[in-house]
Amino acid sequence: MNRNHLLPSLLLQGAALITAGVTMGACAPKAGATAESGDGVKTTFQTSREWRPTIDNRADAVMVYGVGGNPSDPDGNRNFEARVKSWRDRGYTVHFMTGIAWGEYQDYFTGKWDGKPHLDEGQVTQAGDTIWHGHMVPYIVPSMNFLKYMKEAHVKRVIDAGIDAIFMEEPEFWARSGYSDAFKREWKEYYGTDWRPQHESPEATYLSNKLKYHLYYRALNEVFTYAKEYGKTLGRDIKCYVPTHSLVNYSQWQIVSPEASLASLPCVDGYIAQVWTGTSREPNYYNGNYRERVFETAFLEYGSMESMTAPTGRKMFFLTDPIEDRAKDWDDYKRNYQATFTAQLLYPGVGDYEVMPWPERVYEGLYKMSADSEERSRIPRFYSTQMQVMVNSLNKMPVVENKVSGSQGIGVLMGNSLMFQRFPSHDGYDDPQLANFYGMALPLVKRGVPVKTVHIENLGFPATLADTKVLVMTYSNMKPLDPAAHDALAEWVKKGGVLLFCGSDADPFQSVQEWWNTGDNHYKAPSQHLFSKMGIPADATEGVYKVGKGTVQVLRHDPKDFILNENGDAAFIKALTALYEGNAKAGSLEFKNNYLLQRGPYTLAAVVDESVSDEPLTLNGLYIDLFDPSLPVRQSVTVRPGSQAMLLDLTKVADAKRPQVVAASFREYDEKSDSHSYSFTAKSPVDTDGIARLLLPSQPSGVMIDGVESYDPTAWDATSHTYLVRFDNSPEGRKVNVKF
């Protein structure tokens, strides 16, 4: 295959996705390949520190970070094996995490590892500046020599230390880079031509970013293949995961990464969706207004990660962070944590979580006590209590088949090439803050429609479009990397699918030298090839077209127009409504300002602002409010626009006659009960408050905490049959014994 035109081309044949030009080796994809987790790990976290009582958050597993620690943590213990042992000794399953694009790899860059300095392998901008992650820690152009170093100096060592799961995070190539000698060498080897500076033309930009994409695909392929093969020599099955930002975020932040293509590799067992306040607070446009929309952005970010892997069977952890990288105040952290936390739970098919990164930062960091004060403190007790209640709920969060409230079946098409057109801009065409993507998605999210994202790379999997009634797409912000995507789309429409294509096809990347305008193809834009496949005019004007049993409607406006202008989405919403209700016969398209989901006993609610109504949502029932650190019992909860709620519905608790902890800021162990007593051991970090509601068959007659009578008759709530227990948390365990 001619690399100049199809790199890295994804062949969507059956359920296999193959990246052209990549040496696969033992990691070649197989049709229908899936990953089996089976490790009993539902919750995890990452830390560069050894175990200590302040950060013992009691997840199932810990990802010990870096053979040499975390470059952002100067106080971390650099002895990897000692850190691993400290967590194992406390009963944790121990995994390994490190960066693939940056890390404590100074021995490689200074020449200590192989006698040759390699600082020239950093990512470099047009101005000649290296992009740094820390002192002597550049973002890396991952050469084969660097990958050899990663295998020998890091992967082998951690496997020898008994690690059976490796997480290689953030395969990131900055779009603004691509000017280093190392990158020029990779260009020459890959394309067989001399390097072209990406700023000179849209085609040079496109080719540059496709190469960046390939380099980190190759990097993870090489390192994970080695890990699995080396593990086999020891009789062990090594699991390999990719913690990565969402395609939405990387595209908005102008970073290139392999993303969805990795899900096709058997050597990739799964992902961590790195979504948190820091990514989701990135501002975007809606109704002509530019501002942060944390819940809405997080909902789309988690959705893009879920849809990326759902057809492949890979394991997916969702990440949230109680704080973020930027220095804000505790109220800001709490408010946005609730927004992202709720957004992740609105995906009921995902039940595995990274409960926090860097607990040393969360529990021990000093941050502003308020937005208008410079006084700093460690995490306030009210926030650490609420956070631990939320985290502990993740250990019990069920995967359910329930769906989020609202009209189902609308999808927005996205693909890896979203990252290829972001920087630099050309010919005066701009896509501000990824407006061409948000223009299709935010008008629906803001109207309470639980829109799904659909990855063009996954169209070869039958499950990808199985529940889609109307698919919305554009090529103003991305391009199809393979014509097989059009085969899949045309077949779906002909069988009854409904497609809404929005685009002027005027962006300068339409004419890059690619498969739709080379060889036997002579199309001016990829949409012309798609339309020809469906039997409608290649240069179809705005209108509705019948295609087999399905329908295609063409709007000749780029989606950014729908949100950059006030009321700019009116024609889009009108067209979509007619297609959904009429052509797709999917029922009435419901517009509202809220989302509701029931996951076992957990009730999740979110009310959005800038919507069809400013009315709050009122829920009546018998609830424990999990966003209130005092765990009150409420019979009515009001959720206002711009806020969220997480409630435990006491009427939906399984086996409700059994004594049990239903909400707690600790994790309970060694539960025992009989007809007159209930006991357990509570473990959580030191210097935090222990609080829990215990569901009991009758009012207690006595409550012992570590053998000391602590019964308080006012702590009994007769309506809910719950008793509120309080004490100081301890990682060593507090023994609770209840008599009734």
Residue 15 has pLDDT above 50, yes or no: no
Q: Is residue 511 part of a domain?
A: yes
Q: Say what the pLDDT of residue 135 is.
A: 84
Q: Say what the pLDDT of residue 69 is.
A: 72
Q: Say what the pLDDT of residue 152 is.
A: 97
The rounded mean pLDDT for the chain is 93
Find where tokens 């629906």 sit. Answer: 444
From residue 141, alpha-carbon distances to 20, 27, 251, 379 in Å are 20, 22, 19, 38
Least confident range from 65-69, 272-276, 400-404: namely 65-69
Confidence class of residue 75 from pLDDT cuts 50, 70 and 90? low
Residue where one domain finishes, among candidates 556, 583, 610: 583
Name the CA dihedral angle for 381, 383, 384, 389, rounded to a multiple of 10 degrees: 120
Same domain, yes or no, for 458 and 571?
Answer: yes
- Percent of the chain with pLDDT strictly greater than 70: 94
The encoded tokens of residue 617 equal 């949502």
Same domain, yes or no, for 428 and 567?
Answer: yes
Q: Say what the pLDDT of residue 388 is.
A: 98
Domain that holds residue 714: 660-739
Q: Say what the pLDDT of residue 264 is.
A: 77
Nearest CA-CA partner of 415 in 9, 141, 1, 35: 9
Confidence class of residue 491 from pLDDT cuts 50, 70 and 90? very high
- Please confirm whether the linkage preceding 424 is cis (ω < 30° from 0): yes
Same domain, yes or no, for 467 and 572?
Answer: yes
Q: In whole angstroms, what is the distance from residue 414 CA to residue 565 CA?
A: 23
Q: Say what the pLDDT of residue 262 is.
A: 86
Q: Say what the pLDDT of residue 328 is.
A: 95
Q: Say what the pLDDT of residue 310 is.
A: 86
- Residue 495: other Cβ atoms inside 10 A: 12
| HEC sequence for 529-598 | HHHHHCCCCCCCCCEEEEECCEEEEEECCCCHHHHHCCCCCHHHHHHHHHHHHHHCCCCCCCCCCEEEEE
Q: Considering Cα of 194, then 196, then 197, then 200, what sign does the dihedral take?
A: positive
- Length, in residues, of the chain: 740
**Beta strands across the sheet bearing 667-674:** 667-674, 677-683, 734-739, 702-705, 708-709
152: helix, strand or coil: helix
617 neighbors 594 (Cβ within 8 angstroms): yes
Considering just the CA atoms, what is the radius of gyration of the chain in Å?
A: 26
Find where tokens 């404590």 sit. Answer: 104
Question: For the residues 478-500, what does the mean pLDDT come to?
Answer: 97
- Percent of the chain with pLDDT strictly greater than 90: 90
Q: Say what the pLDDT of residue 38 is.
A: 59
pLDDT in tens, 119-168: 999 999 999 999 999 888 999 999 999 999 999 999 999 999 999 999 99
Residue 84 has pLDDT above 50, yes or no: yes
Written as one string, the DSSP assignment of 589-650 is ----SEEEEEETTEEEEEE-SSSS----EEEEEEEEETTSTT--EEEEEEE-TTEEEEEEEG
Residue 263 has pLDDT above 60, yes or no: yes
Q: Is residue 40 part of a domain?
A: no
Question: For the residues 347-366, what does the mean pLDDT come to?
Answer: 97
Query: How far is CA 492 from its chain centroid?
Result: 28
Which amino acid is present at 251?
A: S
Q: Is residue 417 part of a domain?
A: yes
Q: Is residue 429 part of a domain?
A: yes
Confidence class of residue 589 from pLDDT cuts 50, 70 and 90? very high
Q: Is residue 529 part of a domain?
A: yes
Q: Is residue 564 part of a domain?
A: yes
The angle that helices 202-233 and 181-191 make with each other, rounded to 10 degrees, is: 90
The encoded tokens of residue 654 equal 């399984």
Query: How far is CA 680 from its chain centroid?
Result: 34
Which amino acid is present at 440?
A: M
Q: In whole angstroms, what is the distance from residue 500 CA to residue 489 CA?
A: 12
Rounded (5°) CA angle 330-334-339: 150
The angle that helices 484-494 and 526-533 make with each other, rounded to 10 degrees, is: 40
Residue 224 has pLDDT above 70, yes or no: yes
Q: In whole angstroms, what is the distance from residue 704 CA to residue 709 CA?
A: 4
10 neighbors 261 (Cβ within 8 angstroms): yes
Q: Is residue 697 part of a domain?
A: yes
Q: Say what the pLDDT of residue 9 is.
A: 33
Residue 25 has pLDDT above 70, yes or no: no
CATH (domain of 436): 3.40.50
Same domain, yes or no, for 579 and 665?
Answer: no
Q: Say what the pLDDT of residue 77 is.
A: 64
Confidence class of residue 10 from pLDDT cuts 50, 70 and 90? very low
Confidence class of residue 231 from pLDDT cuts 50, 70 and 90? very high
Nearest CA-CA partner of 640 in 610, 611, 619, 617: 617
From residue 284, alpha-carbon distances to 10, 450, 471, 620, 691 in Å are 30, 19, 22, 34, 39
Q: In whole angstroms, what is the distance from residue 239 CA to residue 166 CA?
A: 6
The encoded tokens of residue 352 equal 């595995």
Question: For the residues 178-192, what does the mean pLDDT come to?
Answer: 97
DSSP label of 50: P
Q: In whole angstroms, what is the distance from residue 75 CA to residue 73 CA?
A: 5
Residue where one domain finishes, among candidates 539, 566, 583: 583
Going by C-beta distance under 8 Å and a sequence separation of 6 or more, which residues neighbour residue 689?
A: 381, 384, 385, 629, 665, 726, 728, 729
Q: In whole angstroms, what is the distance from residue 666 CA to residue 689 CA?
A: 9
Residue 516 has pLDDT above 70, yes or no: yes
pLDDT in tens, 436-477: 999 999 999 999 999 999 999 999 988 999 999 999 999 999
Render the burial of 588-612: b for 16+ CB within 10 Å, e for the rest. ebebbbbbbbbbbbbbbbbbbebbe
Residue 57 has pLDDT above 50, yes or no: yes
Same domain, yes or no, for 553 and 467?
Answer: yes
| HEC sequence for 278-320 | HHHCCCEEECCEEECCHHHHHHHHHHHHHHHHHHHCCEEEEEC
pLDDT in tens, 281-323: 999 999 999 999 999 999 999 999 999 988 888 999 999 999 9
Q: In whole angstroms, what is the distance from residue 132 CA to residue 110 CA?
A: 15
494: helix, strand or coil: helix
Residue 30 has pLDDT above 50, yes or no: no
Same domain, yes or no, for 442 and 563?
Answer: yes
Count of the separate structural domains present in the chain: 2
Same domain, yes or no, for 568 and 675?
Answer: no
> Going by DSSP bridges, is the β-strand pair 43-47/352-357 parallel, antiparallel, or unpaired?
parallel
Residue 18 has pLDDT above 70, yes or no: no
pLDDT in tens, 522-580: 999 999 999 999 999 999 999 999 999 999 999 999 999 999 999 999 999 999 999 99
Q: Say what the pLDDT of residue 44 is.
A: 98
> Going by DSSP bridges, is the β-strand pair 410-414/470-473 parallel, antiparallel, or unpaired?
parallel
Q: In whole angstroms, what is the distance from residue 712 CA to residue 544 CA?
A: 70
- Residue 73: other Cβ atoms inside 10 A: 19
Question: For the residues 419-446, what does the mean pLDDT come to?
Answer: 96
CATH (domain of 670): 2.60.40.1180
The encoded tokens of residue 581 equal 């209700």
Same domain, yes or no, for 569 and 670?
Answer: no
Confidence class of residue 37 from pLDDT cuts 50, 70 and 90? very low
Going by C-beta distance under 8 Å and a sequence separation of 6 or more, which residues neighbour residue 429?
A: 506, 507, 508
Q: Is residue 380 part of a domain?
A: no
Written as one string, the DSSP assignment of 318-357 is EE--SS-SS--BHHHHHHHHHHHHHHHHT-TT--EEEEEE
Q: In whole angstroms, what is the distance from residue 446 CA to residue 418 CA?
A: 23
Query: How far is CA 578 from its chain centroid?
Result: 32
Q: Considering Cα of 515, then 518, then 522, then 524, what sign does the dihedral take?
A: positive
Q: In whole angstroms, what is the distance from residue 187 CA to residue 381 CA?
A: 53
Q: In whole angstroms, what is the distance from residue 275 CA to residue 131 CA?
A: 23
What are residue 376's DSSP bridge partners? Answer: 368
From residue 354, alpha-carbon distances to 8, 332, 476, 715 in Å are 31, 21, 34, 33
Residue 726 has pLDDT above 50, yes or no: yes
Question: For the residues 655-663, what does the mean pLDDT come to?
Answer: 97
Residue 13 has pLDDT above 60, yes or no: no
Confidence class of residue 32 from pLDDT cuts 50, 70 and 90? very low
Same domain, yes or no, for 573 and 473?
Answer: yes
Least confident range from 19-23, 35-39, 656-660: namely 19-23
Question: For the residues 48-71, what does the mean pLDDT come to?
Answer: 93
pLDDT in tens, 675-724: 999 999 999 999 999 999 999 999 999 999 999 999 999 999 999 999 99
Half-sphere exposure for 551 (CA within 13 Å, toward CB): 18
Same domain, yes or no, for 530 and 433?
Answer: yes
Q: Say what the pLDDT of residue 313 is.
A: 85
Q: Considering Cα of 71, then 76, then 79, then 84, what sign does the dihedral take?
A: negative
Residue where one domain finishes, among candidates 583, 616, 646: 583
Residue 380 has pLDDT above 80, yes or no: yes
Query: How far is CA 186 from its chain centroid?
Result: 30
